[in-house]
Chain A
Amino acid sequence: NAGVTQTPKFQVLKTGQSMTLQCAQDMNHEYMSWYRQDPGMGLRLIHYSVGAGITDQGEVPNGYNVSRSTTEDFPLRLLSAAPSQTSVYFCASSYRGEAGANVLTFGAGSRLTVL
């Protein structure tokens, strides 16, 4: 299994441009989510999905759109990039751990800079 794959690893945008961060997993996990992490800070939940066709907002959803048409893919769209969206973005999927609750598996991250 490749696990959780994020593309691109690095991206530079100009203010107002749009782009999509891709996330794919090959573990047949129903749950997927997107987090952002600003320098020296913890992770903040943007959006999550509990299965194909089902998405919901996290802590900081404004400025981001998501959709989940397949179990494998969960893209994150920035409609009009702003400098405040400069961050590292992590995608995660989850499985049921041995103890009984969900365990998150993270991708390597996508570093986005908005000028």
Chain B
Amino acid sequence: LAKTTQPISMDSYEGQEVNITCSHNNIATNDYITWYQQFPSQGPRFIIQGYKTKVTNEVASLFIPADRKSSTLSLPRVSLSDTAVYYCLVGGKWTYKYIFGTGTRLKVLA
């Protein structure tokens, strides 16, 4: 299983773009990268998933360089409601033992 490393915490101001990077040096060829968001007292919820290059959906973008040893979650124009913990997970189609790291605690300031 690929181990992931993320910054423990980040602060940002409303309206800014936030980029959270995750390092996964031993990612396997068949692994995908998935990001989750967790608010206090709630279970994590899926944000975005990708394999390579760039993936974009209605809430975020995911950038994955060619060597795939890291990935960056980009949140455009954050608001106070984006204050949460963000986790990146690495695993393949047949990965079932998903291990969460400590995540990145994002605080958005007014």
Contacts and interface: CB of A to CB of B under 8 A. Distances in A.
Interface of A: 4, 31, 33, 35, 41-45, 48, 50, 56, 58-59, 88, 90, 92, 94, 96-109
SS class, residues of chain B in contact with chain A: loop
B103 to A, nearest CB: 6
A101 to B, nearest CB: 4
B102 A102 contact: no
Contacts of A105: 46
Contacts of B51: 99-101
A100 B44 CA distance: 19
Given A90-B43, A100-B32, A101-B49, A35 B95 contact: no
Given A35-B100, A101-B91, A102-B93, A43 B44 contact: yes
Interface residues of B, number: 27
A92 B102 CA distance: 18
Interface in B41-77: 41-46, 49-51, 55
A98 B56 CA distance: 12
A56 B97 CA distance: 9
B100 A102 contact: no
A97 B103 CA distance: 21
Contacts of B103: 42
A42 B104 CA distance: 10
Contacts of A43: 44, 87, 100
Which 3 pairs from chain A and chain B are nearest by CB? A106-B43, A101-B32, A43-B100
Given A98-B49, A106-B45, A42 B101 contact: yes
Contact of A45 (B32, B41, B93, B98): B98
B92 interface: yes
A104 B34 CA distance: 10
Contacts of B102: 41-42
A26 B109 CA distance: 39
A115 to B, nearest CB: 21
Given A43-B100, A101-B34, A96 B42 contact: no
Nearest to B36: A104
